[in-house]
Amino acid sequence: MSGLSASGLRTQIRSYTEVDDTVLTDAVLENIILNAQQRIMMDVPMDSDRHVQEGTLVADDNTINAPAGCLFVRGIEVFNSTSNTEGNGSWLEKKDQTYLSEFVDRKFGPSGEIQAPTDTANSVTGFPKYYAMFGGATGLSDTTSGGMYFAPTPDANYKFRIYYNKVPVLLEGSNTNYISLNFPQGLLYCCLAEAYGFLKGPTDMLTLYENKYKQAVTQFAAMQLGRRRRDDYTDGTVRIKVPSPSP
């Protein structure tokens, strides 16, 4: 099966269900296709959604905005440099906001003793070691409310690099996307399960396509989370044991 466009997918859904556009209107199918894409995105983190963004921290500012469309952050690397991201990179440890609040609200004396809490949240400055998420951080713009706290608060304009998964491009109109090109059968099965749920049956058809989707998504996940995350040199060639007949 070749890649599907949204218009082609709508045609296939109507053909499989044998329901015309007076019931499965374009608006209804748009929601069905959107729900199916959302489900696949949540079921399988895909390599196509992995992105990297570079930027510069601001001295004495302990927050940054999340990248546009950020779904979740996989890691943050900060460089001991204010000019480039070559070498000297350190990976930050992800913590909860409560941990960072406790960390920044206390100073340490010259002998290592904990001093009394201060009134400013930026009291502990230096090279960042921890980060925590706040807000939704899933908007289409990196200026939306939501992002990351850092501790200690940066004492210089260090360069950073965020590794994150981004909300995928949706399948709309005549365009295609990664799912429709690389997982068209699973997308179709998922849409058909959604469609029969909308149509309130028949139950056996809903069960059929739900099971077909689950089988297809298991194979797709094995590719995305297995084969695409390994290579023969590092991990060795995959070998499947073939039972031999008993002598």
Residue with tokens 């500012």, as numbered in its chain: 61
Q: What is the pLDDT of residues 41-94, one digit of tens each?
A: 989 988 888 999 999 999 988 889 888 888 889 999 999 888 777 777 899 999
Rounded Cα distance between 232 and 239, Å, is 11
Confidence of residue 136 (pLDDT cuts 50, 70, 90): low
> pLDDT value at position 229?
76
Q: Is the pLDDT of residue 227 over 80?
A: no
What's the predicted TM-score (pTM) here?
A: 0.76
CA atoms within 13 A on the CB side of 12: 20
CB count, 10 Å around CB of 211? 12
Q: Is pLDDT larger for residue 112 or for residue 96? A: 96
By the 8 A CB rule, do 208 and 30 touch?
no
Q: Where are the domains of the chain?
A: 6-46+168-230, 49-166
